[in-house]
Amino acid sequence: MDTAANVHAYNTGSVETAKAEAAELQEALANGASSQGRTPEEILDQIDKHRDIPTYALAFCQTMGVDNMLDAPLEAQKDTNYALQSQPAIIDRMVDTFGHVMCAASTLYDETSYQPPSRLHLLHTSTPSRPPSTTPLRRRVTRAAPPCWMPTSPLTAPSTTPISWSAWPS
């Protein structure tokens, strides 16, 4: 029966299990086995039982770190010099399991939790001043990029020709 207490207990248990298994998997991947004696394959078997539960998946991703999850298959390949013929079987397992875990965790994403600043606000608060040198400028890439300045004439060699500046087209 779905009562508030049962849901809370289930979600709390999922989070605690995910954190423990993420830490244990990292240890096993680094050392060949965890301090509890389980191999990475055994831990992945246990993770596969919960990989599609969003609360479990989110806690797992937060504990292990998505960057570490993406790097783990590459780290497993390092010993084989990335040769396709000698890939450990655990690589496909990690890719499959971590793909499911990240997919389940993404279902809890709330798009209202992140709102980039409005472009109008950026135009009024962060208009860059004219650059003092003739060195080429690089455009900074951000989610909501402020307007940047770039030369309208090419910079090939230092010269006395004045350079005109204009706003980067959005």
- Asked if the model's pLDDT at residue 132 lies above 60, the reply is no
Predicted confidence at residue 109, as pLDDT, reads: 76
pTM above 0.85, yes or no: no
- The residues that bridge with 165 in the sheet, in sequence order, are 151
pLDDT in tens, 50-88: 999 999 999 999 999 999 999 998 888 877 666 666 778
pLDDT in tens, 141-160: 444 444 444 444 444 444 45
**Taking the alpha carbons of 38, 36, 72, 82 in that order, is the dihedral positive or negative?**
negative
Q: In this model, does residue 170 exceed pLDDT 50?
A: no
Which of 41-50, 67-76, 104-113 has the highest mean predicted lDDT (pLDDT)?
41-50
